Amino acid sequence: MSLPSPDRGERNGSSPTGGTPAVLLALVAALAATFVAAVTVPGTAIAVAGTAALGAGTVHDGRRTRLAGGALLLGAVAYGAYGGLPIPVVLGGTVAALVAIDGAERAVALDAQVPDAATARLVLRRTGTTLVVATVVAGLGYGAYRVGSGEAPAAAAALLLVGALLSAAALR
Amino acid sequence: MSWHRTATDRWRWLVPVALVLAPVGVVSATPAVVLCAVVCVGVAAFARASPAPEPAVDCERRFRERDDGTVAVSLRVENEGSAALPDVRVVDGVPADCTVLDGTPELACSLPAGASRTLCYRVESPESTRRFDDPFVVVADRAGRVELDARVDAGADRLGSSRPLPDAEPVALRPPTGGPPGPLTGTEAGQGLAFHSVREYRRGDPLGRVDWSRFARTGDLSTVTFRAERAPTVVLVVDARPAAYVARAPDATGARDHAVDAARALVTGLADAQVGLAVLGSGVSWTPPGTGRAHRARLRRELDTDPALVAPPEGDDPAVDPLATTLRARTPADAQLCLLTPLCDDAVATLARRLDTGGTPVSVVSPDPTTTDGPGAQLAHLERGARVRDLRRAGIPVLDWTEGDAREAFARAGWAR
């Protein structure tokens, strides 16, 4: 039996506690999104700024900083499309950005509520759900686009309609 | 129990982001950007659609005192509802002055319907009673959009002895052979702190003990010795035989309870001594002498829970000879006994004398349960007085104590140092 360590995150042996697992997950996802966005110099700059803001907002619990970081990350990934990225890669980047934002939010909540509990399993399950949902939506959207067989403006209009409907549902 | 609802609305901001991205994508004829917006809206819609949890959480806390002076606390959290709880966070309400030694009083998990998780940790055994708060439980939905929190009743919340040990003054019993009791120093030289004497150096004396200034002055090697320190060993013998189950009146505090009170005061008052406990019931229940916080907690537990001290006595009085033999066999050689008894029969007085003449110093603390109303009571009173006198004549100090609590009696008799 080891002596109790005052250091947070080391009390349960090697298992990380509190917000640590969620932060690590968010970091990996944010780096993936940055990697996707790094096809143009402005895109890279925006993505790095987004990751930094997301990190700062997580460490100092600034919700607005976090949201700004998340929005910048998403914007950087979308901007990558103008740099000639294929659509699946852009969608992958979007999913990674959303997972990063989810991880960051979860890290802050868990660190505030249960700083000493082992949270890795819970974080993997819950953020895994976000990952699966985002991936499924991305797959469906991409499938609909391919079925629309490349007539971009028409497909875009159709998808916009779907998006508008979902927005209405979400805002209701 | 009412659950307090907090809407975090974590994904709400995704919708405006999507509403910016989608037109940009359409205007610039970039399908990837539009699809990006679709993914954002999809995630926001999922969060919106995930059902708010309906928590039916049951918590049950258990305490288990351990011999090393710590208490193992386990908190079982069960999902009693019919729906799974995807995100449950529990923080047990440990009192601020209880130190958690091992494990953590926090839990984060998901609980399927009917499933339970147990949270285990250890805290230091408190000196007095501590009240645990109800555990704080937070239940969130799948996407973390809504959080419900409440304090859930966990049953057992009081940790510690029913009665804390009293703050007693240090108590001195009989001077044991070789020196007075307490943190005091003995008369012979040995290991210790207080200066005893200087003697000629002998081969093998530790270098640290050599009086180097004298060596510098005179050239003679000499060794400083210190007074030997001793922690006396005292075994408290509480008389809980049926013969000692007496009281002044049917509703008055019994002599046995007074004896237990005195024993509790002695456990604190003899803090520097090694204290053991023997309870004379139908047999002898024995706690070997020891020191320290953990040992005092154990003694307190024994005094609170020993069946012979809690339940009314059953059966006949045990014979004195086997009791004396058992006590003599178990008591360490240099220990003294403190017998706590109402002295209401000859057997216990015989026991005290026999142990004392056997070489174990005995002192007697005796709450007086006798009264003088009625001829029978008066006879018992006189007989007890004769026993006290006999014991004192035999050289055994007796604290005859009629009124007040044990600490006052010790102070009045001059036993408190």
Q: Which of A39-43, B179-183, B410-414 is most confident?
A: A39-43
Mean pLDDT (whole number) for B45-74: 85
Supply the pLDDT for residue A3.
35
Inspect the interface and report whether the beta carbons of A170 and B91 lie closer than 8 Å.
no
Distance from the Cα of B102 to chain A's closest Cα (Å) equals 6
Q: Are A33 and A47 in contact (CB under 8 A)?
A: yes
Residue A121 CB coordination number (10 Å): 13
Q: Number of A:B CB contacts under 8 A?
A: 179
Q: Which of A97, A43, A55, A105 is nearest to A73 (CA)?
A: A97
CA-nearest residue to B100 within chain A is A4
Mean pLDDT (whole number) for B204-218: 88
Supply the pLDDT for residue A54.
93
Percentage of residues in chain B having pLDDT higher than 90: 15
Supply the pLDDT for residue B278.
93
Inspect the interface and report whether the beta carbons of B35 and A98 lie closer than 8 Å.
no
Q: A163-167, B98-102, B191-195, B293-297 — which is least confidently predicted?
A: A163-167
Question: Which of B19, B39, B90 is nearest residue A141 as measured by Cβ atoms?
Answer: B39
Supply the pLDDT for residue A7.
40
Supply the pLDDT for residue B266.
85
Per DSSP, A43 falls in state: H
Inspect the interface and report whether the beta carbons of B101 and A77 lie closer than 8 Å.
no
Mean pLDDT (whole number) for B23-35: 86
Per DSSP, B4 falls in state: E
Q: Which residue has the higher pLDDT, B410 or A20?
A: A20
Show the tokens assigned to A20.
């640590």
**Which residues lie closer than 8 Å to B312 by C-beta, 6 or more apart?**
B245
Supply the pLDDT for residue B88.
92
Give the strand pairing for B158-159 and B146-151: unpaired
Query: Residue B311 pLDDT more than 90?
Result: no
Cα–Cα distance measured from residue B90 to residue B74, given in angstroms and rounded to the nearest whole number: 13
CB-based contact, A81 to chain B, within 8 Å? yes
Supply the pLDDT for residue B277.
92
Residues in A touching B41 (Cβ below 8 Å): 163, 166-167, 170
Supply the pLDDT for residue A169.
65
Distance from the Cα of A151 to chain B's closest Cα (Å) equals 10
Inspect the interface and report whether the beta carbons of B144 and A113 lie closer than 8 Å.
no
Mean pLDDT (whole number) for B375-396: 91
| pLDDT band at residue A4 under the 50/70/90 scheme | very low
CA-nearest residue to A160 within chain B is B22
Mean pLDDT (whole number) for B341-358: 90
pTM: 0.61
Residues in B touching A142 (Cβ below 8 Å): 35
CB-based contact, A45 to chain B, within 8 Å? no
Supply the pLDDT for residue B23.
85
Write down the mean pLDDT value for chain A: 82
Residue B81 CB coordination number (10 Å): 17
**Which residues lie closer than 8 Å to A48 by C-beta, 6 or more apart?**
A34
Inspect the interface and report whether the beta carbons of B39 and A134 lie closer than 8 Å.
yes
CB-based contact, A121 to chain B, within 8 Å? yes
Q: Which of A105-109, B141-145, B264-268, B359-363 is most confident?
A: A105-109
CB-based contact, A124 to chain B, within 8 Å? no
pLDDT in tens, B110-134: 999 999 999 899 988 776 667 888 8
Show the tokens assigned to A94.
């979007």
pLDDT in tens, B298-310: 888 888 878 788 7
Residue B289, class by beta-carbon neighbours within 10 Å (0-12 exposed, 13-18 middle, 19+ buried)? buried
Supply the pLDDT for residue B99.
83
| pLDDT band at residue B390 under the 50/70/90 scheme | very high
Per-window interface: A 90-119 vs B, CB < 8 A: 90-91, 94-95, 98, 102, 105-106, 109-110, 113-119
Question: How many Cα atoms sit within 13 Å of B74 on the Cβ side?
Answer: 8
Query: Residue A1 pLDDT more than 70?
Result: no
Percentage of residues in chain A having pLDDT higher than 70: 77
Distance from the Cα of B214 to chain A's closest Cα (Å) equals 46
pLDDT in tens, B37-52: 889 988 888 888 888 8
Residues in B touching A82 (Cβ below 8 Å): 28, 30
Residues in B touching A138 (Cβ below 8 Å): 35, 38-39, 42
Residue with tokens 């926001």: B44
In a mutational test of the B interface, the residue from A72, A119, A159, A162 whose CB has the highest number of chain B CBs within 10 Å is A159
Query: Residue A14 pLDDT more than 60?
Result: no
Supply the pLDDT for residue B386.
94
Radius of gyration of chain B (CA): 34
CA-nearest residue to A107 within chain B is B144
Inspect the interface and report whether the beta carbons of A11 and B8 lie closer than 8 Å.
no
Write down the mean pLDDT value for chain B: 83
Q: CA torsion angle for A116, A120, A124, A126 (degrees, to 10)?
A: -20
CA-nearest residue to B38 within chain A is A163
| pLDDT band at residue B335 under the 50/70/90 scheme | confident
Inspect the interface and report whether the beta carbons of B41 and A82 lie closer than 8 Å.
no
CB-based contact, A161 to chain B, within 8 Å? no
pLDDT in tens, B225-258: 877 666 778 899 999 888 888 888 887 888 888 8
CA-nearest residue to B34 within chain A is A156
Q: In the beta sheet, which residues pair with residue B365?
A: B340, B399
Mean pLDDT (whole number) for B127-149: 85
Inspect the interface and report whether the beta carbons of B90 and A129 lie closer than 8 Å.
no
Inspect the interface and report whether the beta carbons of B143 and A130 lie closer than 8 Å.
yes
CA-nearest residue to A169 within chain B is B45
Query: Residue A154 pLDDT more than 80?
Result: no
Query: Residue A158 pLDDT more than 70?
Result: no
Question: Which of B19, B33, B42 is nearest residue A81 as measured by Cβ atoms?
Answer: B33
Supply the pLDDT for residue B332.
87
Residues in A touching B86 (Cβ below 8 Å): 125-126, 129
Cα–Cα distance measured from residue A11 to residue B382, given in angstroms and rounded to the nearest whole number: 65
Mean pLDDT (whole number) for A103-116: 90
Q: A13-17, B101-105, B269-273 — which is least confidently predicted?
A: A13-17
**Number of helices followed by number of strands (H, E) in chain A:** 6, 0
| pLDDT band at residue A170 under the 50/70/90 scheme | low
